[in-house]
Amino acid sequence: MIYINFQKSIYKTIRNLPFKLFMLLGIVLLTTYFSYADYKNDQPDSKHIIGKIQTDDTVYADVLEVTVWNKDENFKYTLIDLPSNSNAKIFSIEWSEENAFVLEIKGEKGAGRVFVDPDKLKDTLFICYPVTEKIVFLHTNDHHFDINLPAELAEKISETRNSYDDVFLFDAGDIFVRHPHRWIDNDTLIDDPAWYAHRAKQMVYLMNQLEYDVMTPGNHEFDYVETYTLEALSKANFPLIAANIDIYTDHFPAVKPFVQFKTSTGRNVNVLGLAVISVEGKGILQNDILETAGEFMFLRDDSDVFVALTHIGLQNDANLAEEFPELDIIIGGHSHHFIEQAVFVGDVLVAQAGGNRHEVSDNHPVNLGKVTIVLENGIITDKIGYIMVIGEQND
C-alpha cells in the first residue's frame, strides 16, 4: 500500500513538473523584464557613431590619438580604434550621455578639438587633421538710439549663429544720445527727458532680445541723463566692460575690466574693454588708455583669442594695435569709421562698423560687422572682417 502511494506521488509530481517549470520560467522572465525596464529608465539610450579622420600626405593618420577632452567622472564612453591606413584613421565611439562633448585629436602637428552635438550627428563623423575651428564675432557700434529693421537684423544674426558653433555678438558703445538738442525722431526734435528714458529702455530691451554677449559703453552712456541711463542699463542681460574707467557715482552701473568666454571646444576668448568719456566731474574717471591696456596684457597667457572691444576711435585703436601686438583683434567704435574690410595694424585686425548719425530715422540702414577667426589645432592661422549692410540708405 505504501509502495502504491509512493508511485502515485511520484507520478503526480512528474505530471505537474512542466507546469511548475513553466511558472518558474515566467517568474524569471518577468523579473528580468522589470529589472531591465528599471535599468532603461535610469539610463539614457546609448549613442554610437563611426569617426573618420582624414590627413594629408605629411601626417600618418594611424598614429593619431583620439580622446574625449571634456569628460568628467559621470561621462561613460567606449572608444575603439578600427582598422586604418596612413591617410585615414577610423574609430568608433559609444556613449550614454545626452550632452554634447568635445573630441581631441593629437598628433605631431598639435592637438585639435571637435565639438560633437548628438542632436546633429549622422552615422559618420568626418574630421580633417589638422583640425580647423572657426570663431565668429558679430559687432555693432554707435547706434545712437537707432536700430532699424529689427526683424531683418535678428534674421541675419540667427542665420550666422546657425552656420557656426561659436558666434559672439558685441557692441562697441554709444547706443544712446547724450545731447538734448539731438533727440531727433524722424526730423522732429523731442526736447523731453521722458523720450530719452523710453528710447533707452527700448534699446536695451532689443539688445537683450538679440542676445548680445557684451558691450563697452561709450561717452554717450557715461554722460548719463538723470537716473534714466542707470535704469535702462541696469536691465541689460549682458556685462558692461571698460578697464580704464572708474565709476564713483550711483547714477551709473558698475563696469568690469574684461570678460572671458568659452567656445564650444573650450577655447578661451578674453575681451578687454577700453573707452573714453566726454564730461568730467560726474563721478566717472577716465584713466590712460595705453597704460591701462598694459596692465591687462597678462590676459594673453590665458587666451586662445584676445580681443579689445573699444570705444576710443580709430586713431587710438591703431595706437593700441601698434603698442600691443599681443592682441588678436580690436573691435572699435566712437569715430564712426565704416571699415568695409577690416584692416591690419601689424598682425592685429582692426574692425569698426560705421554707426548712425546722432538722430533717429526710419530711413537709416543697419550695419553689422563680422569678424571670423580661423584656428588650426588651436593656433590662429587666419583673420578676416567685413561689414554687412541691412537695408538701404534712403535719405
> Among 115, 190, 175, 178, which Cα is nearest to 141's?
175
What tens digit of pLDDT does each residue of 227-281 get?
999 999 999 999 999 999 999 999 999 999 999 999 999 999 999 999 999 998 8
Place 395 in a pLDDT band, splitting at 50, 70 and 90.
very low
Q: CATH code for 133-390?
A: 3.60.21.10
Mention the CATH class of domain 47-130: mainly beta
- In which residue ranges of the chain is CATH 3.60.21.10 found? 133-390
Helix (H) or strand (E) holding 375: strand 366-376
pLDDT of residue 249: 97
pLDDT above 70 for 367 = yes
Within 8 A by CB and 6+ apart from 107, the residues are: 55, 59, 63, 64, 65, 129, 130
pTM of the model: 0.86
Closest CA to 327 of 346, 311, 348: 348
Percent of the chain at pLDDT > 70 equals 88
DSSP 195: H
Residues of the chain with CATH 2.60.40: 47-130
